[in-house]
Chains A and B, each alone.
Chain A
């Protein structure tokens, strides 16, 4: 009976089954050993990456102040709306609610909705910026039904002076592919970077260094706690050489015109005012999603984004007579007592060249030629010097090349000579052109900023300073080695322009501070007769220049005023300079006290 049941066989088989199962268990233990011990390091790392997410801490951008510490740009908190894709229950409902609170058409949110849908990396998607406090609170109240909305507090750049300092400070824009490629250590996608002006030039200084928070997240990307924090290094504050009062006054005086003003200290090149008109409000760029405003600015008449002080080139007109006078005296082509008789028109190389004054200035020496801005005198001088010597002197004073200002986009202008003619135009220089160049017409082109450095060199006794906007920036000054007597003679001429009763800018005379300067009126279209430019259409009217310095004995301020199609230098530009000097050197105090800081 017992034998027939084959119990022993069964028992043996049961033991073998157990051995089999136990071996499988041992095999599994080995597999766990492999996962936990042999590859444990890698899985530990994966687990850490799983749970830790990097959240950048935006570094507040450095403040920018004027030379007296008055704030020009600062940061204010701004509220941005983000949507956490992992929390969205019904995307349509989310979009509808957001559009309603923002009072946007739902179609504006379509691209954002698309990004939420695609967002597989659990990073919240930016929907809108600069929410009002009312909107922030509405999203806050809706938190229970709409946990997907997040409000992020960021920094927004506020340009306190708006359009007044626009061309100096520039603005910010989202980093582009080429920035990312050239400075990968500095920028990350989505960063705002300086796009123009000081913001662009000093971006690495101003931006600081973003910090980083490591936050613990759960499997749905919800932030639970902070694991570690690397604080942001705020950007450095910058003090500019600008004098806000002067800048504001210049902007005010230029407001309804097209033109530029540059005011600098001839002793060191510090720029006290730099204004280009028309201007724009850089605060519109503080919002990333401002395509429409951007388009409007690009299409606006007279190109407000353009900085006329250094990005536009113009014929220097009669301002060029300063270069001519200094070079002519210094190189002995003329002596202070030499005279020329001006009859109103003179023939050179078979062509009649008119003086601006119908009937002429009679017999004039250099002093009078500068004072009256007599063209005939300088035609003669130019004819004697020849274009190449004129070009050499011009370059010495910094024309035809960058001034070295700490702003990007500066134009070189053009100093023509015979080589240039062959190279650029493919034909020899015409002698007749030298006559035009002698009074700053013809191919010669300069920027208002170059004119300001020229005036600074004349004012400070022959040193070329580097104009600059950041206080304490490296700004090399280079003595030009120009004959001091020649400079002094020309300076006296410039003094006479304003301070003698028959000077072209006599209207700019101030009782308490002696201004020296030179007017310039640039013909935009050549005229056969002495036409009054004011009767022409805007684009054909003359450009108006006034380049000046003060006080005459110890110059501390150079002011160059340029009006595009503004008419006569004496009537349009000189009064602006006068008003600025009046502002800067108030009648009841001294210049030294004002510059104190």
Chain B
């Protein structure tokens, strides 16, 4: 029997994997994917809570989060393309003009 705890734990694992991807990987595209994974882990938690508490609000939030995620991808890809055009390299370790 699946309980809400199973979903909560799964969403926590997915969220941590996404966060690790952002922290460890240096390719911005992979880092986006990590952020997307984090957002989708949140979506899973919302849907699970909504289902087990019989409160529809959680499902509505998922729609909002999906839209926000799409907007973030659009902005992020545009930035990657702009940087790639300017310097032919998008590795985050080599983008280091600003420091000090």
Q: Do A and B come from one complex?
A: no
Listed in ascending order, the chain B residues whose CB lies under 8 Å from chain A are: none
